[in-house]
Structure 1
Amino acid sequence: MKKKAVFPGSFDPITLGHCDIIERGLQLFDEIVLAIGVNSAKQYTFGLEERKRFLEETFAEESRISIATYNTLTVDFCKSVEAQFILRGLRSTKDFNYEQPIAQTNRVMAGDVETVFLMASPEVTHISSSIVREIMKYNGNYQNLVPYTVRK
C-alpha cells in the first residue's frame, strides 16, 4: 500500500521552511498532497489561485506531489483523498504546543489517520509565513526566505 500524506496549510506564501518539510517528507511518503485550507474568516495576502500557483510552480518537477484546496476538516479531506497521514512541521516548542492538541483531536476523530511531525532544519527554523508577509508589507528583503516562484 502506498503511503500518502496530506501537508495542510494556508501557504500565504509558501516559504523555504515549508519546502524543507515537504522535501524531507518525500523520503518518508510515496505521495504528498499539498492541501491549501480555505477559511472564509481569514484575511490572506495572496489569493487562493496565486497560492496554488506558487505551489504548482515550486514542485512542478516532482511527480509525487499534488496540490488541492479544501474547506472541510483536515481528517475528512485526508479520507477523501485516501491519505493515511497528516504531515506537519515544527520549528519550536511553541509549534508543538499548538499542534499537539490538534493531532490528538484528529486521532480521536479519525484513528486511521496518523499525524507525523518533522522538526524543521536548523537553517529554516526562523522562517514563518507571517514574518515573510510582514517583511513584504514594508518592502524588506525576503528573497532568502521563499522559493523562486514567490520571489519572481
Structure 2
Amino acid sequence: MKQIAIYPGSFDPVTNGHLDIIERSSKIFEHIIVAVFCNPFKEPMFTMEERVEMLKEATKKFKNVSVDSFDGLLVDYAKQKNARIIIRGIRAVSDFEGEFQKASMNKKLDPNIETLILMSSNEHAFLSSSVVKEAALFGGCIRGLVPPNVQERMIQRIKEIRRMKQKQL
C-alpha cells in the first residue's frame, strides 16, 4: 500500500515555511496531499480556490505532492484519501500545545490516524501567514518569505483592498 500523508492548513497564504515542511515531508512519504481547508473562524485574504491555485504553482516541482481542498473533519478526509499520517509543522514551543490538542482529538476520532510533527527550519521559525499578511498590508517587504507567485498575488490583493477602502471613505 502506498504511504500517503496529508499536510493540512489554511495556507492563507502559503509561505516558504510551509514549502520547507512540504519539501522535507516529500522525502519521507511516497505521496503528500497538501489539503487546504476553510477555517470558519478566520477571515481569509484569498478564496479557497485561489489558495489551491497558488499552492499548485508553488509545489509543482515536487513530483509526489498534490494539492486538494476539503471541509469537515480532517480524519474523514484522511479516510477518503487512504491516508494514515497527518503532518503538522511547529515553529516554537508555543505552537506545541495547540498541535498536541489537535493530534489528540484526531486520535480520539480515529485511532488509526497518526500525527507527525516537524520542527520548522531555523530560518522559518518566525514565519506565519498572519505575520506575512500584516507586513504586506503595512508596506513591508515580503520577498523571500513567500514564493514569487504568492508575492505577486498578495501585492495585487492589497491594492484591491486599498481601492475598496478608498471608495468607502
* Equivalent position of 1:103 in the other structure: 103
| SS of equivalent to 2:105 | helix
* Equivalent position of 1:25 in the other structure: 25
| SS of equivalent to 1:20 | helix
1:139 aligns with 2:149: no
Q: Which amino acid aligns with 1:121?
A: S
Q: Which amino acid aligns with 2:107?
A: R
Could you list the per-position Cα deviations for residues 33-70 of structure 1 after superposition, in whole angstroms to 9, with x for gaps in the alignment?
A: 01011234431011212111110101113221111111
Q: Which amino acid aligns with 2:138?
A: Y
Larger Rg, first or second structure (1 or 2) = 2
| SS of equivalent to 2:36 | strand
Instruction: Number of aligned residue pairs: give it.
Output: 152
Q: Which amino acid aligns with 2:44?
A: Y
> Normalization by structure 2: what TM-score?
0.86
Q: Any runs of at least 4 consecutive aligned residues in structure 1 with deviations exceeding 4 A, and if so which? A: none
Q: Which amino acid aligns with 2:140?
A: G
* C-alpha distance in structure 2 between counterparts of 1:52 and 1:105, whole Å: 26
* C-alpha distance in structure 1 between counterparts of 2:59 and 2:69, whole Å: 16
Could you list the per-position Cα deviations for residues 87-138 of structure 1 after superposition, in whole angstroms to 9, with x for gaps in the alignment?
A: 0001111110111011011111111110000001111101000000101111
* Equivalent position of 1:78 in the other structure: 78
Structure 1 residue 24 displacement after superposition: 0.4
Q: Which amino acid aligns with 2:46?
A: F
* C-alpha distance in structure 2 between counterparts of 1:40 and 1:129, whole Å: 16
* C-alpha distance in structure 2 between counterparts of 1:93 and 1:119, whole Å: 10
* Structure holding more helix per residue: 2
Question: With CA pairs under 8 Å and 6+ residues apart, which has the higher RCO, 1 or 2?
Answer: 1
Q: Which amino acid aligns with 1:62?
A: F
* Equivalent position of 2:12 in the other structure: 12
Q: Which amino acid aligns with 1:44?
A: P
Q: Which amino acid aligns with 2:70?
A: Y
Matched-pair identity in %: 39
Q: Which stretches in structure 2 are left out of the alignment for 5+ residues? A: 153-169
> Normalization by structure 1: what TM-score?
0.96
